[in-house]
Amino acid sequence: MEVSEKMRGKFTPGIWGLIVVLVLTGGVFFLGWKLSESRQIGEKMVVNTGDNKGQEARVQEQTTPTVGVDRLSAEGLKLMAKNLGIETKKYDQCLAEGRYRTKVQDGILYAQNLGVTGTPTYFINGIMVVGALPQEQFEKIIEAEIKDGSGDKVVGVGSGEKLVRKKITTGVGYIEGTEKAKVKMVVFSSFACSYCARGAQTEKLLLTKYPNDLSLEFRQYSTQSVSEALECVGEQGKFWQAHDYLFKVGS
């Protein structure tokens, strides 16, 4: 903007300095406003884009347990239920009523009568195997059972002691795999057991390898409170999701 000599003469150096300051200040405010506008647009893009990293981070946050919360405490289990989309009102009511108290107690007693003293303990068509053994050792028994039902004759499994076949009731716990499986594997397991978490990984590999011949039945051998909580989750059809969640967190 041009200023006439006549007008310029009316402004002292101090006034000119003030004008410069005002012009610069206005420019800074305008620049800040544009940056803020751009940032808001960017944030909206992150929220509205279906396959963006921002959304993935929020999903991850929802499924990650709060730091410092024991995953097997009442608070930790309730957080898990919430993360899995469980109706918390029904879950709380189930626990308050003790709906599965007797079932859990009977399950522990049944396991003890079978000779279960630690976890994980497996029964492969009734053949008792203790511990999270290497996958190939389970395969020896499974393949012998598929071939001619001679899994209890397999040697070199676990501690090397003779395998014993016991009579066991199936169809009581939570089952993965085909109902027509020739080999039914029952596992008594605890979510507080690191060896059980390792065993859970092996179980998934075995189910993948023998999709038409093997089924897995999970029986709880955790504490009373944890087992009841998982039953209440299972009531809403999310047992296996809770199973994977707790073992992944605990491993």
Which backbone phi and psi does 216 adopt, to 5 degrees?
A: -125, 130
Partners of 218 in the β-ladder: 174, 187
Which backbone phi and psi does 222 adopt, to 5 degrees?
A: -95, -170
Residue whose token pair is 């929802």: 62
**Rg of the chain, C-alpha, whole Å:** 32
pTM: 0.73
Question: pLDDT tens track of the chain, all 251 residues?
Answer: 444 444 444 445 555 455 544 544 555 444 444 444 444 434 333 333 333 333 333 233 334 444 567 999 999 999 999 999 999 999 999 999 999 999 999 999 999 999 999 999 999 999 999 999 999 999 999 999 999 999 999 998 988 889 999 999 999 999 999 989 999 999 999 999 999 999 999 999 999 999 999 999 999 999 999 999 999 999 999 999 999 999 986 55
pLDDT digits (tens, 9 = 90+) for 170-184: 999 999 999 899 999
- Do strands 127-130 and 183-189 pair parallel, antiparallel, or not at all (unpaired)? unpaired
Question: How many C-beta neighbours within 10 Å does residue 147 have?
Answer: 10
Integer Cα distance of 37 and 44 in angstroms: 11
pLDDT digits (tens, 9 = 90+) for 183-227: 999 999 999 999 999 999 999 999 999 999 999 999 999 999 999
Q: What is the DSSP letter of 152?
A: G
- Cis geometry, peptide bond prior to residue 65 (ω within 30 degrees of 0): no
